[in-house]
Amino acid sequence: MIHTTVYRSNGDITAFKLTGHAQSGPYGYDLVCAGVSAVTIGSVNAVLTLCDVELEIEQGDEGGYLYVTIPDSISYEKMKQVQLLFEGMLVSLISIEAEYSNFIKIHNK
């Protein structure tokens, strides 16, 4: 199962972590894993490219782990942009969880 933890401060996303594997299908055909990976990596790439914000990113060598932190030092305007992109990511993850709750759980802290 994929566990997604979203960390917030004053309502804003400050970081998120993904751990585990969905195992909803054979390796290379796991649609839940592919969907979650596409949504999260796409969102991270969007922030890096469109917002020009250097996120702090930790990844596992063989998948199954992603931890992304938004730096405290970015401007208010950039933070608003990052929040919009990551809230959009969360909407997509919640949609995946609604359909495949045996394979992904979202936690808020």
Catalytic site includes residue 33:
yes
* 21 phi-psi bin (left φ>0, alpha ψ -120 to 50, beta other): beta
From 3, 21, 51, 107, the catalytic residue = 21
What pLDDT does residue 72 have? 92
* 69 phi-psi bin (left φ>0, alpha ψ -120 to 50, beta other): beta
* 65 phi-psi bin (left φ>0, alpha ψ -120 to 50, beta other): beta
From 3, 33, 51, 107, the catalytic residue = 33
Kindly tell me the sign of the dihedral angle through the C-alpha atoms of 59, 109, 50, 20. Answer: positive
Catalytic site includes residue 51:
no
Query: All domains of the chain, ordered by start, with CATH?
Result: 2-104 (3.30.70.1490)
Kindly tell me the sign of the dihedral angle through the C-alpha atoms of 40, 43, 47, 49. Answer: positive
Question: Pairing between strand 104-108 and 56-59?
Answer: unpaired
pLDDT, one tens digit for every residue, the chain (109 residues): 999 999 999 999 999 999 999 989 988 889 999 999 999 999 999 999 999 999 999 999 777 899 999 999 999 999 999 999 999 999 999 999 999 999 999 999 9
